[in-house]
Structure 1
Amino acid sequence: MKPFLILQLRPEDEASDDEYAAILRTGELAPANTHRIRLDRDPLPDLDLARYAGTIVGGGPGCVSDAPADKTPIDARAEAACLSLMPQITDNDLPFMGCCYGIGILAHHLGADVSKARYGEAVSAATCTMTPDGAIDPVLTGLPAQFDAFVGHKEAVQNLPQDTKHLLSGDACPFQMIRYKSNVYATQFHPEADANGFATRIRIYKDKGYFPPEDADALTAMVNAADVSHAPRILRNFVARYSGQM
């Protein structure tokens, strides 16, 4: 089968490696069936995305809505690399799954407002609710009408981008999952993350402004008690659909 392109933006080795392992595990992918690029350190080669089964973008500490002067050189470079691929993806309706950071990149590219004005969510297990369009989407096949997934983000999509479908909603953040055209998906939550992985991120990012550092232990206890067992099916379904197994 064609490989899946995995694009990562986390500059911390432990966080990046743990995220990659989670994507492999959740998507039931072998490393040999992926092409991993760490945009925090690796230059983006000239890519023909039609040669891949799909593109998966992980999360990261950067925000697309930050002023250019407030972005670190690493975040700015990774963001520019991601945005450079979006015309190829959206113009050709190529399979894409953007996780957390990916929804900001997609919505920004489509001209929607992405900002910190509203809808940011503290580190938590947020309840996602299926919309009518979500109930008939193949990537959400087999998921219940409501399920919890891990979130933690400062910025959010403020309005539904043009020509997109709203698949999953939430109370604090309305746009938890969207689809552009037929094959371009993005989630505000982390479908790849389990409790151990999110606890690792809490430890690594405790001084990055997502929460008061003194709350790290309580948040770790919270994620260990949460049930996010349904969310990983989204990545499994995505991989299965675009590798021809669904």
Structure 2
Amino acid sequence: MTARLLYVCARPQRTAAAAEWASFRDGLGVGDDDLIHHDLVRHPLPDDLDRFAAVVVGGSPFNVTDPDKTDAQRRLEGDLERLAATAIEGRTNALFTCFGIGVVTRLLGGEVTLMHPEGTGPTDITLTAAGRDDELFGVLSPRFEALTAHKEGTASVPPTATLLAENDACPVEAYRAGAGLWATQFHPEPTADAFVARMVVYRDAGYFDADAFDEVSAHVRTASVEQPTRLLRSFAARVVSA
């Protein structure tokens, strides 16, 4: 693959950030030099996005619904909104994940709420009819397993977006917006082992009972995440063929 991709990191924890970059690199099926790491927590979004074929946005311990945000978090969210608008307009391709879907939902006038959290571990996700027809999601099985861990979710698909995937706990697991933006609530990038390593970093962050780490991690390791990886490969293939 010769097209260079940009990984936008929204994680303050450097260990988790480096591991997430590696998970996206492996999931996309690209080399080290083909996925550029940009630390959005510490550096503003670059102005020269057009030198990248596409952008993937990782997760974060931040929440759109956080009541007391630092100036750094507000700046980061503003940069992600600017990136989302660029993709919606078709000036780049972008895949937003986890925290990122909340930023996009708010940008589109949707509601981000604490009413749809999901625990740490595998969950079953179902494609909608639009998802089965989507150029990225259409490669997936109509029902598949993915890893989740979040405290907030999108209440309903924003008016200008197309719902692609859902489940019982979280009504909006993925949607498409505009010409070049896809957003997922679930994590498409980590293997089960990589997810457990991430759990170590966020053990005391309130995503799961810290005293139940061994039990939760054992459940995570039962997950089959082949389908989410196919989504990343589909995203990379779209960039190469563009």
* Alignment correspondent of 2:187: 190
- Residue 236 of structure 1: CA displacement? 0.8
Structural mapping, 1:73-92, within 5 Å: 73-92=71-90
Pick the aligned partner of 1:221 from 218, 222, 236. 218
Matched, 1:157 2:158: no
The question of whether the paired residues in 2 share the 8 Å contact of 1:39 and 1:77 is answered with no
Partner deviation per Cα, 1:193-230 (whole Å, 9 max, x = no partner): 11111101111111111122112111111111222221
Identity rate of aligned residues, in percent?
32
User: Number of paired residues?
Assistant: 241
The question of whether the paired residues in 2 share the 8 Å contact of 1:40 and 1:75 is answered with yes
* Alignment correspondent of 1:101: 99
- Residue 78 of structure 1: CA displacement? 2.4
- Residue 72 of structure 1: CA displacement? 4.2
Aligned mates of 2:221, 2:90 — CA distance in 1: 40
* Alignment correspondent of 1:232: 229
CA gap of 1:219–1:74, structure 2 versus 1, over 3 A, is farther
- Residue 11 of structure 1: CA displacement? 1.3
* Alignment correspondent of 2:108: 110
* Alignment correspondent of 2:137: 140
The question of whether the paired residues in 2 share the 8 Å contact of 1:15 and 1:204 is answered with yes
Alignment RMSD, CA only? 1.7
The question of whether the paired residues in 1 share the 8 Å contact of 2:84 and 2:94 is answered with no
Instruction: Give the TM-score of the pair, scaled to structure 1.
Output: 0.92
Aligned mates of 1:85, 1:152 — CA distance in 2: 24
Structural mapping, 1:175-214, within 5 Å: 175-214=172-211
- Residue 65 of structure 1: CA displacement? 1.6
Gaps (5+ residues) in structure 2?
none
Name the SS for the 2:62 alignment partner. coil
- Residue 79 of structure 1: CA displacement? 2.1
Instruction: Give the TM-score of the pair, scaled to structure 2.
Output: 0.93
- Residue 89 of structure 1: CA displacement? 2.4
CA gap of 1:86–1:183, structure 2 versus 1, over 3 A, is closer
Worse-superposed segment, 15-24 or 135-144: 135-144
Aligned mates of 2:28, 2:191 — CA distance in 1: 13
- Residue 75 of structure 1: CA displacement? 3.2
Name the SS for the 1:92 alignment partner. coil
Name the SS for the 1:166 alignment partner. strand
The question of whether the paired residues in 1 share the 8 Å contact of 2:5 and 2:55 is answered with yes
Aligned mates of 2:201, 2:231 — CA distance in 1: 26
Aligned mates of 1:101, 1:244 — CA distance in 2: 28
The letter of the residue matching 1:225 is T
- Residue 168 of structure 1: CA displacement? 0.8
